[in-house]
Amino acid sequence: MPGFVLAIDQGTTSTRAIAFDDGLHVLSVAQQEFQQHFPRSGWVEHDPEEIWRTVLDTTRLALARAALAASDIAAIGITNQRETVIIWDRATGKPIHNAVVWQDRRTSETCRRLIDDGAEDMIRDRTGLIVDPYFSATKIAWLLDNVEGARRRAEAGELAFGTIDSYLLWRLTGGRVHATDATNASRTLLFDIAKNDWDDELLGLFGVPRALLPRVEDCDGEFGETDPSLFGVAIPIRGVAGDQHAAMVGQACFQPGMVKSTYGTGCFAVLNTGAERVASGSRLLTTIGYRLAGKTTFALEGSIFVAGAAVQWLRDGLGLIERAEQSGGMAAASNEEEMIYLVPAFTGLGAPWWDPEARGAIFGLTRGTGPNELVRAALEAVAYQTADLLSAMKRDWHGARETVLRVDGGMVASDWTMQRLADLLDAPVDRPVVLETTALGAAWIAGQKAGVWPDAEGFADRWRLHRRFESTMEPKLREAKLKGWADAVSRTLSRHR
Ligand SMILES: Nc1ncnc2c1ncn2[C@@H]1O[C@H](COP(=O)(O)OP(=O)(O)O)[C@@H](O)[C@H]1O
Ligand SMILES: O=P(O)(O)OC[C@H](O)CO
């Protein structure tokens, strides 16, 4: 049997397909960006047909670049932007509306009402999540209530709901499979993470008919085969996981207490809590880390909405840099005596604050503040926010006391940022050799299921460190900086206004 595995990584701004050889090395990468639609302030949509085209194109291109035929691929693994909602017609496969993206805030009012009605505790107990427009359930209800005839058709079983993985499975299998995996289901607000099943009371509360829902498989469950007309022969789909869960797997964070943090557009830190479903007292999310061969591993997650996006803002919004790579050099050249703080609450604040109304702010401006200091503040904001998440994790769970952070994502290319992260966390930061950890995680789930790749232990042995960053900052300076950040955040929160 061939040992090649293909990962499809369907992200928020681009789709990537990556072919791996039997030694788990990257053979080829194909990537395509697609359009972001902002029909109103705070709304974010994607065109599902365009996403599907990028999946087909990048998959074909990755195969061609690696000089592989579809018959060489033992298995496909899918990983995806989470929470984003698509509803389509079961008969024609046509979506009834654009995808409503995880960043979309159109259901803030509905969420506020649910909180006012006192539903938050019950929802939290069952799903591990906070009531926030970020998650899928209120977006599904919005589509059913705002697309002509959708609710009636959903109740009659004519429509199907899916997160992106589910929609891609449907398209890849020629409409034969309507399924998702436990990690994606755990982000909908409709899934009981202890019972591993959709919850009827939550379905009633959010007004979502059961007939819409996909069946839920383990990450290495039965997902069918690609339709032979797509790539020439049928390829088995053997793995599915949400992107942050796949990154946790790709970083081989298999032991309780291990943490990975991914720095892309946003930042998502995920702590493995093993078989323990830890209830957070700090408004972190309790979520399914991964579910393999019938066994659930739980996790605590902190979600930060703006990380690399702040660097993009320095480039595209302020014009302070031309390329993201310049930011580290400018931060290094800044005057450290200028204590300046940028709180990048461009779209509200995520964990542990969950303040959708907060907006960004800069504190500590003096006549000595210049571009270098502003750039440093944007990079430091990422480190401060990670520090907030890790302290919340340590408060919430005894197993999180001694943490080494495994990092990945576009921003970790910046040595300056990684050093500052270690300094402000006062903990080691490990950057691996392979930075395509999300795709690697999805590929590993599929490859081990297909029997062509090593088991978890063998896979963990192959994780390779590129560089460890250790803290060198004076404790007094760290304390002063963290205190300054805490003040800056408290003055940014909407209740302060
Ligand atoms: N050298 C760098 N220094 C700082 N930020 C960087 C650097 N390289 C890339 N970035 C930032 O990383 C982000 C891209 O990371 P990526 O993992 O590709 O994101 P995503 O998957 O969310 O699209 C961009 O926001 C970019 O500004
Ligand atoms: O597409 P990314 O990498 O920005 O990840 C998005 C997350 O899955 C949203 O929860």
Q: For residue 184, give both structure tokens.
A: 């994606």
- Give me ligand 1 centre to Cα 266, in Å: 9
Q: How many other CB atoms are found less than 10 A from the CB of residue 157?
A: 12
Residue 13 CA, closest ligand 2 atom number? 1
Q: For residue 102, give both structure tokens.
A: 């995880």
Q: For residue 424, give both structure tokens.
A: 């402000």
Write down the number of H helices and E strands in the chain: 17, 22
Beta strands at 73-80 and 259-263: parallel, antiparallel or unpaired: unpaired
Whether 65 has a binding-site annotation, put simply, is no
**Residue 222: which residues within 8 A CB-CB, separation 6 or more?**
179
**Residue 109: which residues within 8 A CB-CB, separation 6 or more?**
none
Q: What is the pLDDT of residue 496?
A: 55
Q: For residue 381, give both structure tokens.
A: 């904001």
Q: Is 17 in the pocket of ligand 1 (CB under 6 A)?
A: no
- Ligand with minimal distance to 14 CA: 1
CB 243 within 8 A of CB 82: yes
Q: How many other CB atoms are found less than 10 A from the CB of residue 120?
A: 15
> Which of 44, 260, 411, 435, when mutated, tests ligand 1's pocket best, judged by the most ligand atoms within 8 Å of its CB?
411
State the DSSP code for 400. Answer: G
Q: Is 260 helix (H, G, I), strand (E, B) or coil?
A: strand
Place of tokens 């291990």: 258
CA distance 117 to 6: 46
Whether 90 has a binding-site annotation, put simply, is no
Closest residue by Cα to residue 93 from 149, 30, 176, 150? 176
- Give me ligand 2 centre to Cα 30, in Å: 19
Whether 134 has a binding-site annotation, put simply, is yes
CA distance 85 to 108: 16
Distances (CA, A) of 71 to 28, 31, 200: 17, 22, 42
Whether 243 has a binding-site annotation, put simply, is yes
CA distance 90 to 497: 48
Phi, psi of 412 (to 5 degrees): -75, -5
Whether 265 has a binding-site annotation, put simply, is yes
Q: What is the pLDDT of residue 226?
A: 98
Q: For residue 194, give both structure tokens.
A: 């202890």
Beta strands at 405-408 and 429-432: parallel, antiparallel or unpaired: parallel
Per run of 10 residues, the mean pLDDT along the chain (length 497 residues) is 90 94 92 92 93 98 96 97 97 96 91 92 96 95 97 96 98 97 98 96 96 97 96 96 97 94 93 93 94 96 91 93 96 95 90 85 95 97 95 88 86 97 95 93 96 92 94 96 96 78
CB 482 within 8 A of CB 387: yes
Q: What is the pLDDT of residue 385?
A: 95
What number does CATH give the domain 252-432+464-497?
3.30.420.40
Residue 325 CA, closest ligand 1 atom number? 1
Nearest-5° Cα angle at 273, 123 to 239: 85
- Ligand with minimal distance to 265 CA: 1
Each residue's pLDDT tens digit, 169-178: 999 999 999 9
Phi, psi of 240 (to 5 degrees): -145, 135
Largest Cα separation within the chain, whole Å, is 67
Closest residue by Cα to residue 201 from 188, 192, 212, 193? 192
The ipTM (two decimal places) reads 0.97
The boundaries of every CATH 3.30.420.40 domain in the chain are 4-235, 252-432+464-497
Q: Is 327 in the pocket of ligand 1 (CB under 6 A)?
A: yes
CB 139 within 8 A of CB 113: no
Q: What is the pLDDT of residue 50?
A: 97
- Give me ligand 1 centre to Cα 364, in Å: 26
Kindly report the protein residue whose alpha carbon is nearest to atom 7 of ligand 2.
81
CB 419 within 8 A of CB 469: yes
The CATH architecture that domain 4-235 belongs to is 2-Layer Sandwich (3.30)
Q: What is the pLDDT of residue 42?
A: 83
